[in-house]
Amino acid sequence: MAFTSQASNRLYADNNLDSSDGFLWDWTFGAEYYHEAPFLVGLKNDNNGLEFNVNLALSYNDFYLDFDQSQLTGGAVLGYKLFDSEPWTLDIIAVQLQSGFDEYGGAIYSGPLIKELEGITPRQADYDAGLRLTRTNGDTQLNLEILHDIAGAHQSLIVSTFISHIRPWKNWEFRSGVGLSYYPKTYTNYYFGVTPEEARAFRPVFEASNAFAMQFEFHAEYPLSRHWVFLGGWLTTWFSSGIGDSPLVEQPYQHKAKVGIRYVF
């Protein structure tokens, strides 16, 4: 189960997809070993394993599709550039911010019945669309996103901001970012509220409230050869009491770290 303040590595200053003249595309692939401490109740607190990543960037004039899995805040972004005048850009974007889950864990952690989640109503994944305003100053970038769920899961308005910085050092490239997201009650209650029908002796009724999430990401890359790149990263998200106090939540934070390689053409 993944919360993301932001959606893609385009949020770093050197990764903006500029408007193209016609069709352009680029892609890379790789693999990494990850270790994760999810925050959803009943999940293993030492989830780890091998996963593969594919990174694909497509653009046609002002339209773009960016699919990034190498960075921990990665995801798929479909967008259209409305305005671009340095240092400001304004895009229309569509992203998925929240994966769904059920008593078996959901799409990401699907497995045997999780006792602590037994009897809950399945929560559906959302899909969100809205505006992203970006200001770039050298290797630093500030983003503001205002997105609305268009899939009908929670039908909420979510506001996120993220500031990121790139710092090269010798052959290394270090990326760091801090994000803050606001989730209204309609969102938190849909995913983390507990209705009377879902309540059990070990799971009381819970009405969630407005909540915030703060996110910190650190990512590093080092070229091993002309085509192979070493990468590593750490992502931590902290949740306010509107989410952290839910009986469906083990602790008000989640961590994920990974190391791996990717092939660059």
- Closest to 217 (Cα-Cα) out of 202, 231, 200, 234: 234
Domains of the chain with CATH codes = 9-264 (2.40.160)
Q: How far apart are CA 134 and CA 138, in angstroms?
A: 13
CA atoms within 13 A on the CB side of 190: 19
Q: How confident is the model at residue 6 (pLDDT cuts 50, 70, 90)?
A: very low
> Which pLDDT does position 226 carry in this prediction?
93
Cα→Cα distances 127→48, 191, 192, Å: 27, 14, 18
Q: Phi/psi at 167 (nearest 5 deg)?
A: -135, 110
Q: What is the pLDDT of residues 176-226, one digit of tens each?
A: 999 999 999 999 999 999 999 999 999 999 999 999 999 999 999 999 999
Q: How confident is the model at residue 18 (pLDDT cuts 50, 70, 90)?
A: low
> Which pLDDT does position 19 carry in this prediction?
63
Number of CB atoms found within 10 A of residue 223's CB: 13
